[in-house]
Amino acid sequence: MSSSTAVPRTAPIAIAPKPSRPSPRRQNSTTNACDTLTSSMNGHESADSDTPSSGTSLCDFCAQRRIKCVMTEDEETSSCVSCQANGVECSLSRSPQPRKRKLARDLADDGNFWRGSPGRSDNRRQRQHQSSLSSTTASNSLIEDMANFGGPTLLKRTLGLQHDRYSQYIGPTTDFEPSLINLSPFDPQDESLLARGTLRKVSENDTFLMLPDYTTSGHERQVEDVDEIERLVAPNGRKLIDLYFRVVHPSFPIIQRNVFYERFSPPLLAAIYILAINWWDLSEELSATPRPDIRRIEKIMRSSLADAMWRPKLSTVQAGLLLSQKPEGDQWAPTAQLVAIAQELGLHLDCTHWKIPPWEKGLRKRLAWALYMQDKWGALVHGRPSHIFSNNWIVQPLLPNDFPEAEYDENDVEEKLEIERGRTLFVQMVYLSQVLAEILETFYTLQAMHAVISAGPQGTHLVLSLAKPIQLKLKEWYSAIPANIRMDSSLALHNNTTGRLSSIGYLHLAYFATEITLHRRIIRSLEVNAQDVDSYLQHICRSAAKARLISAMDFVNRLTPQHLRAFWYFASKTNFALIGTFGSMLWATAPGREEADWYRRRLGEYRWTLSVSSKPGEGKGLTEFAMGMLDISAGLLKQLPEKPELSRSGSALEMSSGRRESILAMTMDAPRMEFQSDMASADVSGAQSPGSQTDSSDEMYDNSAPTGGLASMRE
């Protein structure tokens, strides 16, 4: 279809005469690919073209309403879906019965559950319906009729996953006045027909405009895209789907599994395959066969995703989020597009009381918070302004009932524990992302940085006063981490012995990255105002920063293969690098040669740990990025002027206790983090002190391996 007929997504809603019904030729040129796609995912074959549903005849009721006439499969009550749903007698009641269509379980038995199975494509296309359902000329769609009629579908009354329409949120400042919307005559399905589309009212204050898919570019290629994607992974499509739900889904639950099996989009299907292929060797069956061509799959995915953005649905956001999780897949510009699409879909709103299915409410909330995380962590790793602001975000916190039930076998205790732990992990990552958002807004916006500069000599004290409450939040968050996602939990230890993968590492790494982001700002302000800051204040701030660095490096040293081979959140590779960047910063700003040499040695140990973690099959690529950044930092540190040797006499430690207390009162409460049972304590006192004897090696790093931890596990 020509893109010139596409409906502008943000165009004003004009009141115009009702458009004429599409001609048969137009319908043939825009064969309802999405209808066929949905039918296939529902486990149904298309009805034969000699039935009334093929468009050769319409009953009186459907002809009057100008909607598609689809016959029911009930042999006793021969009528179309619309007539039966509205309680009227169908004029086609004596017409020949449509053939019985196969159910999903029948297709699964035939080995053709996935619609891209070889040999089915041409026959299926020949059986496609020759008419297209237009939402511009109907007050409800086929999916709505099916919702009223009943049946096993989970897409009843859905807003964000209709198979033939997409939604646009009508905001408060558009040229469509809300008070005029309330004057519209809404039917029992909360819809009102307009010339441009159909209004869908989901609450007293929230209304969407439903527009037809067929007017958008690339709509007619959906079936072909799915076929091509399936061909590229055949015959391993189902194995890859199972692998995705085994490895990625538990700790990143942005997909409703049963809804996905009923209906998927080409970009979402491709994104799942692309991610799952990263764990190809985890399956003995798959590892013995050649991998699919990821580049070709990704090419189809990006093309279909670009088309889907013109008819955005929840699956569009899902596909974009998953694409960002693949190695080298995160980019800042696509994140901005995803945020805009989410706002079109109303994901930034509170859907608690909307007139949509309960499962869609939960899915919307999970998707909204996943997008929030993507935006905040993307802003951190790319150093860009965030796109989501608290004054335009009213999504409610996640609750247990926002996650789907029966996603696991009740008889499989380990699977149940794994799903529950993944959900806890996801919720805690959301909480941590909110703290990160506060740090970014408080310290790293242009206005915030300008305020510190304007404070002049008092800039450091301003930073410390703002950091204190956030530091307390981080401390409280860490102490309240549920037991089942702590590094030393019984489930974690059990996974280490059984070989079951665990993704809890990405949450703990994100915590250290958040701490480091806060302390980087403090150390940076100390460096700028070095002449105006008391020496003891500098000492306690640098000691707190040193404790965070040691704890972070100790955490990385304790990661096991079960952690490294699991799913890691997209920001993790940069978070590994931030640990090294923080150490390099402390090295560069160290006041004396002894302290600088201590950081040099610790960074050498850290690089060794990363290199061991980079073995094939154990996070390769995840830690290589951090190693590369460490090497870049090392090259820059070669330009440092030689630092002086500092004597211990007259040090800040000899300051009177009264003077120390007065300084501490002005600073944040930055106690050394006690990791207790979760991991070894960051023992700053056991580390080499700045005044101790050091080795004056000419190498940038000492390459000797540390003892214990990851070193002993890798031998």
- For every residue of 127-143, DSSP letters joined together read TS-S----GGG-SS-HH
**Measured distance CA(243)–CA(477) in Å, rounded:** 32
More confident residue, 672 or 185: 185
Whether the pLDDT of residue 81 is over 50: the answer is: yes
Residue at 606 is within a domain:
no
Task: Work out the average pLDDT over 258-286.
Answer: 92
Residue 674 structural domain: 429-595+652-690
Q: How many residues does the chain have?
A: 715
Give the model's pLDDT for residue 113.
38
Task: Work out the average pLDDT over 113-126.
Answer: 37
The tokens describing 689, both together, are 């002190």
Give the model's pLDDT for residue 78.
65
Direct distance between the N- and C-terminal alpha carbons of the chain, in angstroms, rounded to an integer? 60
What three-state secondary structure class fits 167? strand
The angle at the Cα of 673, spanning 550 to 685, to the nearest 5 degrees, equals: 55
Whether the pLDDT of residue 300 is over 60: the answer is: yes
**Measured distance CA(163)–CA(166) in Å, rounded:** 8
Whether the pLDDT of residue 695 is over 80: the answer is: no
User: Quick one: what percent of the chain has pLDDT higher than 90?
Assistant: 53
Whether the pLDDT of residue 689 is over 50: the answer is: no
Give the model's pLDDT for residue 39.
39
Whether the pLDDT of residue 86 is over 60: the answer is: no
Give the model's pLDDT for residue 516.
98
**Measured distance CA(425)–CA(379) in Å, rounded:** 21
Mean pLDDT (the chain, rounded) = 77
List, for residues 500-555, the tens digit of each pLDDT value. Answer: 899 999 999 999 999 999 999 999 999 888 788 888 899 999 999 999 999 999 99
Residue type (1 letter), 662 = S
The pTM assigned to this predicted structure is 0.75
Residue at 673 is within a domain:
yes
Task: Work out the average pLDDT over 42-50.
Answer: 36
Confidence of residue 558 (pLDDT cuts 50, 70, 90): very high
Whether the pLDDT of residue 413 is over 90: the answer is: no
Residue at 491 is within a domain:
yes
Confidence of residue 183 (pLDDT cuts 50, 70, 90): confident
Q: Comparing C-alpha atoms, which of 233, 217, 336 is closest to residue 290? A: 233
Burial class (CB in 10 A: 0-12, 13-18, 19+), 9: middle
What three-state secondary structure class fits 708? coil
Give the model's pLDDT for residue 376.
98
Residue at 139 is within a domain:
no
**Measured distance CA(55)–CA(143) in Å, rounded:** 17
Give the model's pLDDT for residue 128.
38
Residue at 537 is within a domain:
yes
List, for residues 17-37, the tens digit of each pLDDT value. Answer: 434 444 333 333 333 333 433
Residue at 61 is within a domain:
no
**Measured distance CA(344)–CA(7) in Å, rounded:** 14
Contact 86, 79 (CB under 8 A): no
List, for residues 444-466, the tens digit of each pLDDT value. Answer: 999 999 999 999 989 999 999 99
The tokens describing 299, both together, are 């090419």
More confident residue, 659 or 102: 659
Residue at 552 is within a domain:
yes
Give the model's pLDDT for residue 461.
93
Give the model's pLDDT for residue 225.
95
Residue at 56 is within a domain:
no
Using the structure block, give the residue that is written with the tokens 């500098």. 538
Task: Work out the average pLDDT over 557-567.
Answer: 93
**Measured distance CA(294)–CA(270) in Å, rounded:** 9
**Measured distance CA(605)–CA(569) in Å, rounded:** 24
Contact 266, 229 (CB under 8 A): yes
Contact 472, 669 (CB under 8 A): yes
The tokens describing 545, both together, are 């920063």
Contacts 24+ apart (CB under 8 A), 4-9: 5/215, 6/215, 6/216, 6/217, 6/310, 7/196, 7/197, 7/211, 7/212, 7/215, 7/216, 9/168, 9/310, 9/312, 9/344
Confidence of residue 135 (pLDDT cuts 50, 70, 90): very low
Whether the pLDDT of residue 155 is over 50: the answer is: yes
More confident residue, 568 or 76: 568
Q: Which of 325-329, 385-389, 478-482, 660-664 has the lowest mean pLDDT?
A: 660-664
**What is the side-by-side strand order in the sheet with 165-169?**
165-169, 207-212, 198-201, 191-193
Residue type (1 letter), 325 = Q
Task: Work out the average pLDDT over 153-168.
Answer: 83
Task: Work out the average pLDDT over 283-288.
Answer: 92
Q: Comparing C-alpha atoms, which of 456, 457, 454 is closest to residue 532? A: 457
How many domains are contained in the chain?
1
Q: Which of 156-160, 252-256, 440-444, 467-471 has the lowest mean pLDDT?
A: 156-160
